[in-house]
Structure 1
Amino acid sequence: MVMMSQLAVLAGEQLQAYRLVNSKFPPIALFDDVANADEFEVLYQIQALTNPRLLNEVGSLELISRREIPFGIAGCSYATAPFTHINPAGSRFSAGKFGVLYLAASMETALAEVRYHQDQYWLNVPSLNYERFVFRGLSCTFLDEAMSDAASIAMTDPIYDPVDYTHSRRLGKAVKDAGCPGLRYNSVRMHGDYCWALMTPRPVLSVIQTAHYEMIWNGQITSVNKVSIA
């Protein structure tokens, strides 16, 4: 298995990448309503007095340091949400102990990645014969400076195992523990394209909504369609 010490370090480039979020969850506005951590603390305390849903909306704030939140950027809430709403089941580079912001080099790759995981999830739901899932497309601008680069690692390496994340999670933990801001890697679901696993939202410069997409379930995802533009 590849070790973090074997990976090159990216010099730093401003990039555009893409992700999808489920549209049934409304956007979280609170992180976008302030310019810095002090303003956030004041606004959070005020809203907490009148908004009983606030904790569910912003997530577990203890999971991320305020200095890691890129206050003042467009779409700060989108950049921060993966770190305050963590999937306990984990993901490719996390066992569920910390959040990761996953991005893809193209919307086609983001759709392929999400399509695979939606298929795997809904296969375990009994008696689901038909359903329509709608996702909000996001375009993210970020800097890849100081990120580790696993893109040159062969797809035969166990970090790219399509179903077993044991080795990739070890690498992800090593990257996180080293204070590295992220990892570039090859997409497993769209060969030939890249993805990024950001360990902090700090490198993000902006996140904007692009379009909505639907995935149709008939025992598996049978079609993916763009249903609206931003």
Structure 2
Amino acid sequence: MSTAELHTLTGAYALHALPEDERLAFERHLGACEACAQEVRELSATAARLGLAVSVAPPPALRERVLRDITTVRQEAPASGRSARAGGSPGRAGRWSTYALAACVAAAAAFGGVAVWQNQVAQDARQEAARAAQHNEQVARVLTAPDAATSAADLGNGARGTVVVSQSVNRAVFLASDMARPPGGKVYQLWFDDGGTMRSAGLMDPSATDDAVLLDGPVDRASGMGITVEPAGGSEQPTSDPVALMEFQDA
């Protein structure tokens, strides 16, 4: 992908809408392009504000109004005279009106439930959009920091790992490329190396072979990072030999 094409991906990146390979390529580009980095920060902030916008919900009094209006609809009079003599059932029309009224009440109640469900779905979507925008913004802050320092390592079988650390932001980002998926029921877990003591830094997506992971927690005095294969959900301490150990470089 050319540099000119990468310049056009700021909007899609801010909306978390790029395929994995393009996202990884664009994040590498961010480290060398201040114009794109600034545009991503602005678009991410805008996306977050739009995602948090309040949606239009049905008026709270709608259910009560529907129930009130139902009571004003006249029921049909009981069958009499000619219809009764013709064999009609005197109570049939009344019963059908009762059934219709019950159906309307049930529909009104169901409408209220659907409105609550739709509002919850919208709220969940807004929260997810806000989390994605915040993740993108934090990753961009690390990659574009003036003191960002990069270390790379061969992870075997053609896979590569790159860690970018910013002491001023006090965060680190791990970029994986062509990593083999972990065995079933397992997950890659990242660790900060605090002078030989390993501190959990989060889990990778087990379904992703290319990924950009914002390590959990601050860098602080960590001198490097490691990757191990752990049971799903992660471990408090490493339980397997490291897939890789990477030292942090100074800016």
- Higher helix proportion: 2
- Higher strand proportion: 1
Of structures 1 and 2, the one with the larger relative CO (CA 8 A, separation 6+) is 1
Q: For the pair shown, which has the larger CA radius of gyration, 1 or 2? A: 2
In the superposition, the TM-score normalised over structure 2's length comes to 0.24
In the superposition, the TM-score normalised over structure 1's length comes to 0.26
